[in-house]
Chain A
Amino acid sequence: MSYINPSFRHPNLPVNDIGCTKTDYEGAISTLCAGCGHDSISAAVVQACFEMSIEPHRVAKLSGIGCSSKTPAYFLNQSHGFNSVHGRMPSVATGANMANRDMIYIGVSGDGDTASIGMGQFVHVARRNLNMLYMVENNGCYGLTKGQDSATADIGSKAKGGVENVYAPIDLVNVALELGATFVARSFSGDKKQLVPLIQAALSHQGFAFIDVVSPCVTFNNNPGSTKAYDYVREHAEITGSVDFVPKKDEITADYEPGTSTNITLHDGSALQLHKLAKDFDPQDRRAATRALENAKDHGGILTGLIYIDPDTKDLHNILGTTETPLRDLDQDTLCPGNDALAAINESLR
């Protein structure tokens, strides 16, 4: 069931630059389990969009199948949504984006939806550098079918039933890096402070922005022995550095000691301010990113934060040389060559 939030609003709610309150970015009431990490991620999306003053109707939200894929119903009620079939969100997002390059595309998927049934589409949307935010709400298990291990479960990790996973895990961050994704990050549903600026940066990035959000399943995979449990993730998260998102209109004001902070200007003019970066870590160096991932893994750490960014890339429209006007807005005169052109074609076929 999807309950609509009541329309009653407190009269003094803060408004953003386009006159919207945070509630204008909310969705239906969640039907996920109480305490589900996914709901925190939905809340982070709401906050990120509110703070960026994004017009909700300029966003299209898409998903596949699974608990995570239900969540687009729980944020941005004024956006069109597309809950597609299992593992196939990337293709629908690609088509939608080809039709209208001017909208913002948020794809939500899960570890089953991406790392198993949807692996094929995930890798190809990444290598095409489709301009979208692709979020995996990663809980290491299949929640909707009651807790089977997923392909991101770590070896030795125990789900609720106590059985250890014996198969090698797929680290989607590593896969995305390998495929040439131009924005790669990992976060934790329990760390909204980190997640919100990452979402904002991802939305500002022109190209494929991937965020793997570890998001514990409170019902089937939040037990001792699970490496996707709240406690475990809190204890083992290692950040690459702090991330501040600075919108285009704002100046960078925070002051850090020289040499401890990096600023990256994004395509839309906004900026990322990174500080307290780990030693030898440079988020614009793909090799360093891979190395940092491996290093963290060596001692059981979960690397979070911005892991890699190439702020100046060609997205799929640039690669294909598509016209600036959204294709769906081209009128018939532009689209249809007319009968004279057809007569010339006929002549060439005689």
Chain B
Amino acid sequence: MKKIESVNEFVIRFANVNGTGSWSANLLFARAIFRMGIPISPKNIFPSNIQGLPTWYEVRISGKGYIGTRGGVDIMVAMNPQSMAKDLKELGAGGYFVYDNTKPLNPAFVREDINYIGLPLTEICIREYKDPKLRQLFKNIIYVGALAALVDVDFEVLKNLVASQFKGKEKLIEPNIKALDLGYNYAKENFECPIGIRVTACDNVGDKILIDGNAALALGSLYAGASVVSWYPITPSTSLIDSYKKYAKKLRTDPETGGNNYAIVQAEDELSAIGMVLGASWNGARAFTATSGPGVSLMSEFLGFAYFAEVPVVLFDIQRSGPSTGMPTRTQQSDLISCAYASHGDTKHVLIIPSTPKECFDFAADAFDLADRLQTPVIVMSDLDLGMNDTMSEPLTWNDDRQYDRGKVYSGDDLEAMTERYGRYLDVDGDGIGYRTLPGAHPSKGSFFTRGSSHNAYAAYTEDSGSYVEGMERLLKKWETAKQYVPGPDIRSDNNEIGLVFYGTSADSAQEAMDRLSENGVAVDAMRIRALPFNDDVEAFIAGHDKVFVIEQNRDAQMRTLLSNECGIDPARMIPVLSFDGMPITANTIYDKINEYLSVAKGKKKVA
């Protein structure tokens, strides 16, 4: 029988029951491999449930450094009877099926083309532990121990990891190591270890870290000086606030008084969450909220208000599958249009789209500078895949010489020195951006009335058509100004005829697909879009390529729509490559779709 043979290149998927402690055990396995210097990409695929429903944890191990989702499974650790039939089908031919053989396997689950590895996990647990809860918890650790033997994970690394994980709770170290030993020894005694798939230490990780995008966004916000946070709990954004809270407690507690140099308010809904951000920003603090698609819908009225009244706002949208409920724990890039044009009337918002945790950190910090500079909402578009999965990343860095850009704000002294009349919305510099004043700045100068109703350059209420039009046109000028401040596209061009356009979490899979296309003689250029408004380079890239594929994780090709709408590009010039099943887009999907299109176009057979 065929056995998959591979060193440092495989996908292992753990099928577990939600709420049984499997996640931390699986992460332990993944981190041990990471510590051996081998790039990994773990993905937690979880249900909208606290306990009992199926959950999966997939780790791609790639010595070559591909961390996008590949597609397919080489080792299935099938610990959940509920999902076993489906899990069995997902395993590729020649793969390894790891299961608990305390009870005999259902004969219906026998496939001729895969390799079975039975571990008597329940039996070992019943023998070794009395407490049912411990039996469950250590069952997970035992299979991690067994897997370590099966794929040759450095056992010392694993043990050290356990020791560091339970630092401060030393009592837990020994029983965990014992459980690892139980599994490790069983596998060594009963199987030929390693199996065809194995890992070997290398140095392809360098100084990289493993962090989820939400934590990186939280840290970026903290470093940018955000001090007022309001949010309403919603998956998959909640962990961003949890991370902020954790780091703020550590890094923002006043050493002398013990007071908090931050305020976090859990709001009653998303309408209130964004309202608090407006209030705090208007009053001079840096403030943010985090949400997902449904929250964006609720925040829309305030987003339009902030656009029109020109109040800085930072909003993190951790996108999930929509609309409504059912797939809230699955990923998508489907809020692009709802965010770009959120609200009533003519509105458009600055979007920033990070691809990696490092970029999450940098862009979060930049978002606060941009919001202050542009005096408008800035929406950072992440998604569940990036936000909630530990992702390999360049280390986070902060330039200690960097000064916050608080944008155009007249201080009390500025106002004191002013001889002319202050006008909140006067376009003094010709870039469409006026000067703010903060409440309380000066006893007799600089006060103004912030309102969503039409206002003139001096912030006075007006129903005069001319003043209204003038204001709206100035906002367009500001939109033009924004182009020079937002992150430009990341372009790699070798003057090929074909150009791929992608953004956010499609980047890793797109890169892998490009490498495969290139190996098959199809050279392509690439543009990773990182912000709206698009600058001229974006338009030029599309204009400069005969065939342009736009890769997205939504049904309606929303980025393609934005490109067409904002740049006036003929949509027929942009071929959509879409994936919207709630799972991260895979390199296979991108490769296959582009390949198929090119083959049909040429009337040729597909390349291998």
- Interface of A toward B, CB cutoff 8 Å: 1-2, 55-58, 60, 62, 72-73, 77-85, 88, 90-100, 102-103, 120-121, 123-124, 128, 316-317, 320-324, 327-328, 330, 332, 334-339, 341-343, 345-346, 349-350
- B134 CB within 8 Å of chain A: no
Cβ contact within 8 Å between B453 and A83: yes
What per-residue 1/0 map shows which CB atoms of B453-468 lie under 8 Å from chain A? 1000000111100000
Known: A99-B285, A327-B263. A342 touches B397 (CB 8 A): yes
Q: Which B residue's beta carbon lies closest to that of A320?
A: B263
CA distance A56 to B460 in the complex (A): 19
Q: Which B residue's beta carbon lies closest to that of A76?
A: B447
Partner of B279 from the list A91, A332, A350 (CB cut-off 8 Å) is A91
Cβ contact within 8 Å between B447 and A327: no
* Complex interface: chain B residues within 8 A of A324 (CB): 257, 259
Known: A83-B452, A100-B283. A321 touches B260 (CB 8 A): yes
Measured CB to CB, the closest approach of chain A to B324, in angstroms, equals 20
* Complex interface: chain A residues within 8 A of B301 (CB): 85, 88
* Complex interface: chain A residues within 8 A of B277 (CB): 95
Known: A2-B461, A82-B282, A323-B259. A336 touches B225 (CB 8 A): yes
* Complex interface: chain B residues within 8 A of A91 (CB): 230, 267, 271-276, 278-279
Partner of A99 from the list B208, B284, B442 (CB cut-off 8 Å) is B284
4 extra interface residue pairs, beta carbon distance < 8 Å, beyond A80-B448, A98-B228, A323-B259: A57-B441, A81-B449, A96-B279, A103-B283
Tell me the B434-490 residues at the A interface (CB within 8 Å): 437-444, 447-453, 460-463
Give 3 closest A-B pairs by Cβ, nearest first.
A91-B275, A95-B279, A323-B259
* Complex interface: chain B residues within 8 A of A321 (CB): 258-260
CA distance A124 to B268 in the complex (A): 7
- B262 CB within 8 Å of chain A: yes
Tell me the B514-543 residues at the A interface (CB within 8 Å): none
Known: A99-B279, A339-B400. A88 touches B272 (CB 8 A): yes
Cβ contact within 8 Å between B283 and A99: yes
- B332 CB within 8 Å of chain A: no
Known: A79-B439, A342-B223, A350-B210. A88 touches B260 (CB 8 A): no
Cβ contact within 8 Å between B261 and A95: no
Known: A91-B272, A92-B275. A342 touches B209 (CB 8 A): no
Cβ contact within 8 Å between B275 and A95: yes
CA distance A62 to B443 in the complex (A): 18
* Complex interface: chain A residues within 8 A of B278 (CB): 84, 91-92, 95
Cβ contact within 8 Å between A81 and B450: yes
* Complex interface: chain A residues within 8 A of B399 (CB): 339
Cβ contact within 8 Å between A339 and B261: no
Tell me the B249-294 residues at the A interface (CB within 8 Å): 251-252, 254, 257-265, 267-269, 271-285, 287
Cβ contact within 8 Å between B449 and A99: no
Q: How many chain B residues have a CB neighbour from A under 8 Å? A: 77
Q: Which A residue's beta carbon lies closest to that of B443?
A: A57
Measured CB to CB, the closest approach of chain A to B170, in angstroms, equals 18
Q: Which A residue's beta carbon lies closest to that of B412?
A: A57
* Complex interface: chain B residues within 8 A of A55 (CB): 443
CA distance A123 to B272 in the complex (A): 12
- B302 CB within 8 Å of chain A: yes
Q: Which B residue's beta carbon lies closest to that of A341?
A: B251
* Complex interface: chain A residues within 8 A of B222 (CB): 337
Cβ contact within 8 Å between B227 and A57: no
* Complex interface: chain A residues within 8 A of B269 (CB): 120
Cβ contact within 8 Å between A57 and B440: yes
Measured CB to CB, the closest approach of chain B to A25, in angstroms, equals 12
Measured CB to CB, the closest approach of chain A to B245, in angstroms, equals 12
Partner of B209 from the list A56, A58, A121, A346 (CB cut-off 8 Å) is A346
* Complex interface: chain B residues within 8 A of A77 (CB): 447
Known: A80-B439, A342-B396. A128 touches B227 (CB 8 A): no
* Complex interface: chain B residues within 8 A of A90 (CB): 272, 275
* Complex interface: chain B residues within 8 A of A316 (CB): 265
Measured CB to CB, the closest approach of chain A to B265, in angstroms, equals 6
